[in-house]
Structure 1
Amino acid sequence: MGSMREQENAGCRTTGVPSEFDPGRRVFRLSWLPGELTHLTYTGQRWEHSLTALLPAWTPGRGAAPVRAGRVVTVTVGARGVDVCRPLREWDPELAGSAAPSTPPGVAVAPVRDRPAHLYVSPDGSRAALSWRYAHDAWAAVLSTNQPGSARVLRQIAEGLVGDDRPLTVPFLRVPPPADCRLERVAVERRDGRWHRVWGGYLASGSPAPYGDLTIGVRRDWSGGPGNTTADGRPAWSAGGLGTYRVGRVPGAAPRTVAEVGVLTPHGLAALGGDRAALGGDRAALALAARVRLVTDPDDEAGWRPF
């Protein structure tokens, strides 16, 4: 595990890219994004770090309703040997089965920061990707959906990408996960300039899950109806098995902020001390969520804590 070091402030130019990143430390930052993209999520993972920016096609009401995206831009920096154009190969049938990552989609275009680059545009023009090999066997890409002027926009984003090695910080005090669970990812989601949901994802020992088994975090502006149980004397929402467990009235938070523990797989349930029937796991999930505490002023990012 390691982090990618910036050299010469040159678009993540480096000769020492690890096979795994540290999920808890940033890998890059951007100097520019289209201003109309209002929902931003930075995700640190072992195999890649990404920032997704979107403009909603509609804004949901309060609660857990998902956001439907009208326009999306995703910036991805991969660890050594990672195919950062994987989403394109899944979206567009004409790319299915194409080689990766030594032959990126599209045609060769002008270099990005003196690095070989390729531009791909889907036949209907709705999707585009600018990818470049920023180091030996390591790739970065900017992908877009429904983005006007995509070739120009993607290049402007790519040219403003620089390496970063700061800790990823969050607005809550870190809660130790169950024993034998390791951190796999950290995600910080913002909407209209405010944090919306922040969480860490964990992989249980021996689990085959590709993305993790448990999540621990916080969400603001939750209004999912009255709780179906209590935890530590506070309103709570129990999934009763696999699913998301929530506890309200988080100390120091606005009324609609909840702590969340997501139980994604049976391995995650077992790590909490439960089984497929959720015996014990549901109580442990709520107890874990009830331990989450926010920093003194969660809207002041200067006081956020490293994950």
Structure 2
Amino acid sequence: MLNVSEIGIKFLGENVEEFKEGFKTLFARRYLPDVRESVEKPSIVIERFRGEEFRIFSATYDHMGVDEYKIESPKPSAYGNEAPIFFLLQAVARASAKVGRVVVTDSVAVYEDGEVVLFVGYPHTGKSTISVLALAKGLNVLSTENTVVEVKDSLRVVGGTEVLVYDPSVKHIYGVNVPHDSSTKSGYLIKDLKGEMRENILKKKPKVSKIVLLHAAFNCSGYSFSQMRGRKIKKTLWYFSTALLKGLDYYEPMPLHVPLNDKIKETLAKFLDVASSLDMIEAFGNHKSIFEALFGPVNEKV
């Protein structure tokens, strides 16, 4: 059985082990948070039938507390059959919300001095570059794309994606050098952040102290911050907290429209209420200028 951010997933059907392996690859782990083996009771059961294309032909929700899916699919693979990975991410987001956790999409979590600054931003607004700058400064990046937040009286980071993909331009533009493990077909660099130190920090469930809505670019100079309050916080974070649930993160042939039960609605409402009490700013400008205003100078040529 597979565990994705403490959500147990049981696979049924032919060649289960081969199919399951497709969710453990470096590519899959760019999107699926904390993929591990598991022997825990499943929250999701997926029965897979072989087929040439991916499709979901049955979904049963909350059956004895378990979400059950029947799918047709080849083995998950990068650039070939990516849809099962994003389907599983959506299923995990729903199962997580049922136990009081929100999978915040398009986010990175930077840990410093016992607390977390959570960056959210639409694609290509600088989150990965901020992560590289954090690594260059010696900070811990707890999540690189999808951050799992436990919702109680505070927001606490309990998991997230651990594979960072970033633009190599950051090296010569900002004078930093973070070692990488491999690269994508298009030349982006890949760094696997999985490690004991990260896992030990996550076990402590560090609190989110600040949320930053990021708008950064290489060709900008300087920076500016704008304080966010009230409805604007809730309106902004509604997208990032529900995009996976509502199928806004596209996969072929079409994402599911999953139902939101009372517990999921309660989790989302509390997430927005707690988040709106936190310090949240909108940040515009140059990545490095924004980062150093928040964390201090970056160590160059690391």
Q: TM-score, normalised by structure 1?
A: 0.24
Q: Specify which structure has the higher proportion of helix.
A: 2
Larger Rg, first or second structure (1 or 2): 1
Q: Specify which structure has the higher proportion of strand.
A: 1
Q: TM-score, normalised by structure 2?
A: 0.25
Flag the structure with more relative contact order, 1 or 2, with Cα contacts below 8 A and sequence separation at least 6.
Answer: 2
